[in-house]
A and B are shown apart, each in its own frame.
Chain A
C-alpha cells in the first residue's frame, strides 16, 4: 500500500444518502479475480443517466468524493473500494460510513473521512458553484481545507500511522507469530476442525 500524507484534488458532489455497495459496484461486476479494472463497474447503473454527476465534464478528474450519510452500507465487497480507487478517487467524505466499508477503505489506502452534515453541504455547494475548487486533506494534521475554512476530522492514531507509513497488516501481525502459537496451544481440543480428524 502506498503511504498517504496529504492529497489535494477536486470534489465530486454526490448528493445521495445510503449509497450502498450494490450502487458503488453491482454484483455482476465482481467476477474479476484481479484487484484492478473495477472502474468500469463504478456506479454502473447510475452512470447510464447522462446527467449523473460522474458523467458531467466539469467533474472529470475529481479525486475527492463527497456523499451523504450511510455511505457504503451493504455487502463486505472490497471491490467497492477498488472500484473507487481504480476510477481515480483517493478520498471519500461523508457524515457516516458503514463499518465494513470503512475498514476495507482504510486497509486499502482509500482515506474515508467523517465530517458533520453541514460541512458536507458546504463542500457540495462549493463544488457545484465552482467545480474547479480544490480541497486539501492533510492526514498528519487530520484536517480538510477548502475555500477559507479548515475542518478537523477524527481518525484513530493506529489507522493514521498505518496509512502514513503505508504498512501491510499481515506483515505487522506476522511479527507476533509466537503469541499466536501460544494462544493456539491453549485452545480446547474439542473445538471444531473442518478437515477429517
Chain B
C-alpha cells in the first residue's frame, strides 16, 4: 500500500491539535486540557508553586479527588493513620489555597481519579489529559491522549497548563474477530502484555483497534487502555465512535445543544486515517484468547488459566529465566502445577482497572446464590461513590454481602495497599487490579491478576477458577431466583 504522507493516526491528530510551540531540536510544548490531581503525588508540586510565588494557571481545568490512601471503612471518622491524614489534609489545604476543585472523602463525586473523570464527562475525545498516576492511560478509551506524569511535571502543569514533550512512536494493536463468551477485556489486555512484554510498549502510544475492540463497551475499553502502562507504554488509545458518544451524552460535563453537535463533528474527525502508518503493529486473533491470569511478579508473566506454572528451565532468554526463577520463589509456586490448583486467601474486586459498575455486575452475576469459600476473604471496593450508589440501587451489595464478601467504600484500596487494606506476609490474592509486583498489595503478599469474572469464581471455590468451571453444586440457591 502506498504511504500517504497526509494520513495521520489518532494519536498524531490529538498531538498536533495541542502544540503551543514547536521548535526543531526542542520538545514540543503541548497544551493540557485536563489535569487530575490526588493526594500522593501533588503535595511537593504545590510546595514548589508556593516557594516560587506561582499560582495555578487554570484551576478550571484541574480536578482533585482523594483516592490512594483513604480508608474504605468508617469514612465518617478521622483517618486513623496520622501520616495518611496529614497527606489528605495537605491536599485539602492546597486545593483551597490555589482554588482547585476537590471531591473529598464523603462527597458523592469522590472516588478513584480515573473512574471519576469519565463518569462526570470531563474525559472527552481528542483531549490531552494528565495526572500524577501511571494509570491515567485509562482515559485513552475515549480517544484522548492521556498519560501519567511525575510530581515535577504536576508542578509544571499546575503553573503553565502545558508540558514539554518529545513525540511518541505509534503502535497499532489490532484485535480482529470475536472474543469467546468467557473472555473479557481484562483477559485481552493481560494476553497482549504477555505477548509484547513489560518493556514492549516503551516509547509508544498504543492504539487498540479492530472489530473486537469496536464491540467493547466504554468500560471494557477503559480496562484495556488502563493497563497500557503495564506493557511499558505511557498511553493507550481507542478511536471515538458511536459507543463513545452514547456514553458521553447527558453526562454532567458533556456539551449540550449546538455545542454537542460541534463536539461530535470534531470527535468524528479523529480516528486514524486510512493509509496512516504505525511504527509497529501487533495482530491479535480474538477467537484464540482464553481467560488469563498472572503467575509471576510482573504483569507480563501471565498464561491462560488452563495452563500450568511454567518451568524456568524451559525459558531461553537468561534475563527472563532468572526473573521467572525469582518470581516463582517469591510466589512460592512449583513448575508444572496447574494454575487452577492455586489456592488463595483473598479476593480483591476493585481498582481503576476493574472497579466500575459493569465489573461489579459481572462478578455479582456469578456470586448470586453462591458463597465465598471458607477461609477466603473477599473485598469488594467500588471505584467511586457513584459506582457504589448505583450498585446499591441494583442490589449488587446484597449479592456480595449475602455471599460473605465485604462491601467497602470507594478508593484505590488493596490495589496498592497504601491504606489499611493489605495482604499479610505470605497471603495470596486473586485481584482484579493491575500490578502483581512483589509486595504491591502488602509486604510479602502474593498477587494473581484476574478478571472480575475469574475473581468471583475464585472466591467461590478458593482456588483460581474460570466461571465456566463452576459446577451447579457451588450454587446453594436458584441462580435465577
Given contacts A100-B150, A103-B153, A176 and B203 within 8 Å (CB-CB)? no
A170 vs chain B, min Cβ distance (A): 5
Does A18 sit at the interface, judged by CB under 8 A? Answer: yes
B450 vs chain A, min Cβ distance (A): 19
Q: How far is the CA of A174 from the CA of B152 in the complex (A)?
A: 15
Q: How far is the CA of A109 from the CA of B136 in the complex (A)?
A: 25
Q: How far is the CA of A162 from the CA of B166 in the complex (A)?
A: 14
**Which A residue's beta carbon lies closest to that of B33?**
A191
B159 touches A174 (CB 8 A): yes
Does A23 sit at the interface, judged by CB under 8 A? Answer: yes
**Which A residue's beta carbon lies closest to that of B262?**
A190
**Which A residue's beta carbon lies closest to that of B323?**
A17
A131 vs chain B, min Cβ distance (A): 22
Max chain B C-beta neighbours (<10 A), residue from A28, A194, A195: A194
CB<8 Å pairs between A and B, sample of 11 = A22-B437, A31-B418, A70-B232, A78-B152, A79-B151, A108-B152, A169-B152, A177-B160, A180-B20, A187-B33, A193-B60
Task: Give the interface residue-count category, chain B.
Answer: 35 or more
A80 vs chain B, min Cβ distance (A): 9
A interface residues (Cβ-Cβ under 8 A, vs B): 16-18, 20, 22-23, 26-28, 30-35, 45, 68-70, 73-79, 81, 96, 98-100, 103-104, 107-108, 117, 156-158, 169-170, 172-174, 176-177, 179-180, 183-184, 187-195
Q: Chain A residues near B152 (CB, 8 Å)?
A: 78, 104, 107-108, 169
B21 touches A176 (CB 8 A): yes
B330 vs chain A, min Cβ distance (A): 10
A33 touches B44 (CB 8 A): yes
The 10 closest A-B pairs by CB, nearest first: A104-B150, A190-B259, A33-B43, A78-B150, A76-B148, A78-B151, A190-B255, A194-B63, A31-B83, A22-B437
* A-contact 0/1 string along B196-211, CB 8 Å cutoff: 0011001100000000
Q: How far is the CA of A35 from the CA of B132 in the complex (A)?
A: 15
B234 touches A180 (CB 8 A): no
B155-182 residues with Cβ-Cβ distance < 8 A to A are: 155-156, 159-162, 164, 166
A192 touches B134 (CB 8 A): no
Across the interface, B416 reaches (CB within 8 A) one of A27, A108, A191, namely: A27
Max chain B C-beta neighbours (<10 A), residue from A157, A189, A191: A191
Which listed segment binds A: B22-30, B283-291, B375-383, B388-396? B22-30
B interface residues (Cβ-Cβ under 8 A, vs A): 20-21, 25-27, 29, 31, 33-34, 40-41, 43-44, 47-48, 52, 54, 57, 59-63, 68-69, 81, 83-84, 86-87, 90, 101, 121-122, 124, 127, 132-134, 136, 148-153, 155-156, 159-162, 164, 166, 198-199, 202-203, 229, 232-234, 253-255, 259-260, 262-263, 266, 297-298, 319-320, 322-323, 326, 416-418, 435, 437-440, 443-444
Across the interface, A158 reaches (CB within 8 A) one of B25, B68, B253, namely: B25
B235 vs chain A, min Cβ distance (A): 10
Q: Chain A residues near B160 (CB, 8 Å)?
A: 170, 173-174, 177, 180
Across the interface, B149 reaches (CB within 8 A) one of A76, A189, A190, A192, namely: A76
Q: Chain A residues near B86 (CB, 8 Å)?
A: 31, 33
A99 touches B203 (CB 8 A): yes
Q: Chain B residues near A69 (CB, 8 Å)?
A: 199, 319
Q: How far is the CA of A18 from the CA of B152 in the complex (A)?
A: 24
Q: Chain B residues near A104 (CB, 8 Å)?
A: 150-153
A98 touches B162 (CB 8 A): no
Q: Chain A residues near B255 (CB, 8 Å)?
A: 190, 192
A76 touches B41 (CB 8 A): yes
Across the interface, B44 reaches (CB within 8 A) one of A23, A34, A193, namely: A34
A98 touches B232 (CB 8 A): yes
Across the interface, A23 reaches (CB within 8 A) one of B41, B43, B87, B438, namely: B438
Given contacts A23-B437, A190-B259, A74 and B134 within 8 Å (CB-CB)? yes
Across the interface, A173 reaches (CB within 8 A) one of B29, B48, B59, B259, namely: B29
Q: Chain A residues near B27 (CB, 8 Å)?
A: 158
A30 touches B166 (CB 8 A): no
**Which A residue's beta carbon lies closest to that of B330?**
A45
Q: Chain A residues near B33 (CB, 8 Å)?
A: 187, 191-192
Q: How far is the CA of A172 from the CA of B232 in the complex (A)?
A: 29
A57 vs chain B, min Cβ distance (A): 24
A103 touches B150 (CB 8 A): yes
Across the interface, B161 reaches (CB within 8 A) one of A16, A96, A180, A190, namely: A180
Q: Chain A residues near B263 (CB, 8 Å)?
A: 188, 190
Q: How far is the CA of A31 from the CA of B91 in the complex (A)?
A: 12
Q: How far is the CA of A22 from the CA of B122 in the complex (A)?
A: 30
**Which A residue's beta carbon lies closest to that of B253?**
A192
Across the interface, A99 reaches (CB within 8 A) one of B202, B262, B439, namely: B202
Q: Chain B residues near A99 (CB, 8 Å)?
A: 202-203, 232-234
Q: How far is the CA of A76 from the CA of B229 in the complex (A)?
A: 10
